[in-house]
Amino acid sequence: MRAAPLHRYELFHTSDIDHARELASRVFCEHQLVPHSRISQLDARLHSTKLDRTAVSYLAYGADVRISPGARDYYAVLLPLRGECRMSLGSRRIVADTSTAVIVSPEERLLMHWQDRCQQLILRIDRDTINAHLQEVTGAGPDTPIAFAPVMPVTFGLKHSWRMALLNLVADLDQEHSLSGSALAARAYERALLSGLLLAQPHNYENQLSHEGGTTHPRAVRMAIEIMRSQPAEEHTSTSLARKAGVDTRTLQRAFRRSMDTTPMTYLRQLRLQRARDELSTYDIEQTSVSRVAARWGFPHAGRFSVMYREKFGEPPSRTLHR
């Protein structure tokens, strides 16, 4: 059996829920940890190590559990490697899974429901650390707290690149002789992750950051994304989006390639797949069907939709609907 990520940094492996809560609190924060049902058998493990000013952890409970964290002074990037975690983040309901990471900001009210199969990597970034890094790369520290958009789709573009950087770091840490085991290399890895997060994920200071060839997301790209997100079911084309964004088609396509590492139509397809998943997760089989949801989101061929859905989410749409 393949060893779990960060296996060289095991802090605990236990079936005792109080023991798991106590030791996990030392790495993260005080929290309530409650099994979802009386018959849930815990198989919890936590692997964790510090880089320089951040920490990366692997956490799994092996049972359905509910977690209510207390006060925090750090950002947490939660990246499921398997299964899913349903969250209430402030007033929002969010599902983290293998295609969607979630960034939790300090002091945000958070409730989590971990599925029994859920396994996550968690990058902990203290508030002072990300503030100092923003000042380092822009020349000015934040006047107000950095607020990241919480949902981070990691299947394409810069966000996918950031996910791969974190996975590569974890793979290196798992080696007996690893570059990241040295303080010098660990600092370099950490700087790359912090810079990448500021570049890849929307936040309230992104306009202060520069990117090769222009801003992180040029105006035309931002406009096209806003149009697609607000009207995902419309029959958009690259040409129609370019016209609404005030540029020609080739300019928009080049801008998407440069800043998003994808095309407008690929971005739209990924967005529609996510909306279809949201709908399939909301309704049950008596209320809708896979083919009906697929057609509603612009996928007239249910078979092709199922193939793309499985590639993106790791399961067929019928399983999501039946869950």
pLDDT of residue 286: 67
Lowest mean pLDDT across 101-110, 136-145, 153-162, 210-219:
210-219
Q: Containing domain of residue 122, as a range?
A: 7-209
Q: What local confidence, expressed as pLDDT, does residue 284 receive?
A: 62
For residue 86, pLDDT over 60 is answered with: yes
Q: Is 2 a member of any domain?
A: no
150 and 31 within one domain: yes
Q: Give the model's pLDDT for residue 215.
A: 42
Q: Which residue has the higher pLDDT, 242 or 210?
A: 242
Above 70 in pLDDT, residue 246? yes
CATH number at residue 303: 1.10.10.60
Helices 219-230 and 264-282, packing angle to 10 deg: 30
Whichever domain contains 225, its CATH number is 1.10.10
* Average pLDDT, integer, range 281-309: 85
Task: Say if residue 156 is in the same domain as residue 234.
Answer: no
Residue 85 is part of a domain; what is its CATH number?
Answer: 2.60.120.10
In a domain, 187, yes or no: yes
On whether residue 56 sits in a domain, the answer given is: yes
Asked, for residue 124, whether it belongs to a domain, the answer is: yes
Cα-based torsion angle of the residue sequence 108, 282, 37, 11 in order, rounded to the nearest 10 degrees: -50
pLDDT > 60? residue 53 = yes
> Tell me: the pLDDT tens digits for 251-276?
999 888 887 778 999 989 988 998 88
Percentage of residues in the chain having pLDDT higher than 70: 94
Residues 204 and 303 in one domain: no
Residue given tokens 């994920």 in the structure block: 201
Residues 201 and 299 in one domain: no
Q: Please check whether residues 58 and 158 belong to one and the same domain.
A: yes
Are residues 230 and 90 part of one domain?
Answer: no
Q: What is the pLDDT of residue 214?
A: 39
Residues 127 and 186 in one domain: yes
Mean pLDDT of the chain: 88
Residue 17 in domain? yes
Please check whether residues 313 and 296 belong to one and the same domain.
yes
Beta carbons of 148 and 75 less than 8 angstroms apart: yes
Mean pLDDT of the region 24-49: 88
Rounded to 5 degrees, φ, ψ at 18 are -70, -40
- pLDDT on residue 221: 86
Residues 6+ apart with CB under 8 A from 175: none
The predicted pLDDT at position 216 comes to 45
Q: Are residues 144 and 57 in the same domain?
A: yes
User: What digits encode the pLDDT tens for the residues 169-226?
Assistant: 999 999 988 888 888 888 889 999 999 999 899 888 887 775 433 344 577 888 888 8
**Confidence bin at 39 (pLDDT 50/70/90):** low
* pLDDT value of residue 213: 38
Assigned token pair, 309: 């859905």
Domains of the chain: total: 3
Best CA proximity match to 306, nearest among 288, 321, 294, 322: 294
Residue 150 and residue 24 share a domain? yes
Compute the distance between CA of residue 217 and CA of residue 223 in angstroms, rounded to an integer: 10
Spell out the long-range contacts of 142-146 with Cβ–Cβ below 8 A and sequence spacing 24 or more.
142/205, 144/204, 145/105, 145/106, 146/75, 146/105, 146/203, 146/204, 146/205
The residue with greater pLDDT, 290 or 137, is: 290
Q: Is residue 85 part of a domain?
A: yes
Confidence of residue 17 (pLDDT cuts 50, 70, 90): very high
